[in-house]
Amino acid sequence: MIERLQISNLRNLTQVNLHTAACNVMIGANGSGKTSLLEAIFLLSRGKSFRHHQPKRYIQHHQHTATVHARLSDGNTLAIQKQADATTLLRLNQSTVYNQSILTEQLPTLLIDPSSMDMLEQGSASRRQLLDWLVFHMKQGFHPQWLAYQRLLKQRNSLLKKSKHLTHVQLAELRSWDKGLGNHAALIHHYRQHVFTKWQPFFADSIAQLLPSYAEQLSLSYHAGYDTDVALEVQLGERLEQDLQLGYTRIGNHRADIHVHWRSNDALAANDTMPPDKLPAGSGSKQVVADTLPILKEQAANVLSRGEKKLLITALRLSQLSLLLQTDATTQANTNENERVLTATPVVLLDDITAELDERAIEILLSTLAKLPCQVFMSSLTADITPMVNGLWSNPMMFHVKQGQVFPF
């Protein structure tokens, strides 16, 4: 848990120095710096911002570096300094470290950002990251495999991009990379699938709480990014010509995805909710259709309303946290699945939830978080949320954020 947080020159936060508690509420007007404060914690944990990839966007104007420093309750200190050219300096207990994953492990950070609709609707990258966050924190062996896979993939893609016809030497090199990719792929898929299977019931629980009318109707599926019945190495060899034409590697773990599906409860229910223009052609009266209509299946994003999508995104994140925290440490230690035992307290960042979720959803979310051994930082435009927070946490800290300065409330 973060006990003390220091931020320098990150957006409008010139110098911030805070003592923090298990629950921290940042209250302030638009543009006061609330999200920047959450961004700082995320940056320390993940080495990147959730808003912009380029450091020059979040380093304070006219400054060369942005720094975030935290002292944790276990005595460890973590620091990150970002320069405008993206050079990163990382420190753990005054020693320089060269791997962001060391800080990530010390400070697991989960952003619950209901407005991030792109997670459901755009490319697969953010959904893959969602799954990989969980896999990273649950499987010790995942990250090294993933790094090695990324390295080989980068080499392969740069060769594919360079030339449409390979020399014998290049072909031999590519074959050896494909072998390596195949070995890493099998393990990465194994870790992802194992974690995914554990995640599903937690997701179902969160849906039952946050979107009860969709309980039993929403489900997750995992796609490996390639046909896992055949070794990736073999498939890469078979489709080399196509990859050469494309100039990149089309299949593999880097194309993995998770989908959220919606299905009708039964044909009759589906019939009742379907507008007439969506009924199958020639279906005649509703009764006739009820007998013949198949169970409907769709991507959830095509069915849910905007507000429901926010609840779904919240359920995805919350269920990950519940799984991570409720996985019994002894079970983990006793299994042979290369499990990582979570030693640090996860930090949950809630950005402007009062603007995004209705009161019932906020209450479910906060009461679930208050029962979990995690630390919470949340931002809000108004102090309306304070009675609920005071009822759920003992001694929460309220801060007033004003023009980049943070004061105890």
Ligand X SMILES: Nc1ncnc2c1ncn2[C@@H]1O[C@H](COP(=O)(O)OP(=O)(O)OP(=O)(O)O)[C@@H](O)[C@H]1O
Residue 246 Cα distances to 180, 224, 240, 249, 343, angstroms: 21, 21, 10, 8, 44
The residue among 34 and 190 lying less far from ligand X, judged by its C-beta, is 34
Q: In the bound complex, what is the minimum distance in angstroms from residue 50's beta carbon to ligand X?
A: 11
Residues 337-356 that bind ligand X (CB under 6 A): 352
Q: Does the annotation flag 271 for ligand binding? A: no
- Here the tokens at position 251 are 């299949």
For residue 58, state whether it binds ligand X (rule: CB under 6 A): yes
Least distance (Å) from ligand X to the CB of residue 38? 8
Tell me whether residue 28 is annotated as binding: yes
Residue number with CB closer to ligand X (34 or 184): 34
Closest contact distance (angstroms) between CB of 65 and ligand X is 12
State how far the Cα of 138 lies from the Cα of 337, in Å rounded to an integer: 10
11 is a contact residue toward ligand X (CB under 6 A): yes
Output 235 or 314, the one with its CB closest to ligand X.
314
**Residue for token digits 């848990």?**
1
Distance (Å) of CA 94 to CA 67, 86, 89, 394: 14, 21, 11, 33
In the complex with ligand X, the residue whose CB is nearer, 97 or 117, is 117
| Residue 31 among known ligand-binding residues | yes
Task: State the DSSP code for 10.
Answer: E
Instruction: For residue 24, list its beta bridge partners.
Output: 377, 397
Classify residue 13 by burial, with Cβ atoms within 10 Å: 0-12, 13-18, 19+.
buried
Q: Which residue, chain included where needed, has tokens 């995690």?
A: 374
Tell me if residue 150 falls in helix, strand or coil. helix
380 belongs to the binding site for ligand X (CB under 6 A): no
Told to check if 35 binds ligand X by CB under 6 A, we report: yes
Q: Give the whole-angstrom CA distance, residue 223 versus residue 192.
A: 10
How far, in Å, CA of 301 to CA of 284, rounded? 29
Q: Contact with ligand X (CB under 6 A): which of 5, 8, 20, 34?
A: 34
In whole angstroms, the minimum distance from the beta carbon of 12 to ligand X comes to 4
Under rule CB under 6 A, which residues in 59-118 are in contact with ligand X?
60-61
406 with 16: CB under 8 angstroms?
A: yes
Of 94, 6, 23, nearest to 406 by C-alpha is 6
Out of 1, 6, 12, 88, the only residue in the binding site for ligand X (CB under 6 A) is 12
315 marked ligand binding residue: no
**Interaction between residue 36 and ligand X (CB under 6 A):** yes
Written as six digits, the tokens of 242 are 């196509």
Which residue, 17 or 158, has its beta carbon nearer to ligand X? 17
Nearest residue to 304 via CA among 112, 119, 132: 119
Q: State the nearest-atom distance from the C-beta of 352 to ligand X, in Å.
A: 6
- Whether residue 30 is annotated as binding a ligand: the answer is yes
Would you say 35 is a known binding-site residue? yes
Piece in contact with ligand X (CB under 6 A), picked from 25-33, 168-176, 181-189, 201-209: 25-33
User: Which positions touch ligand X (CB under 6 A)?
Assistant: 11-12, 28, 30-36, 58, 60-61, 352, 379, 381
User: Annotated binding residues for ATP, as ranges?
Assistant: 28-35
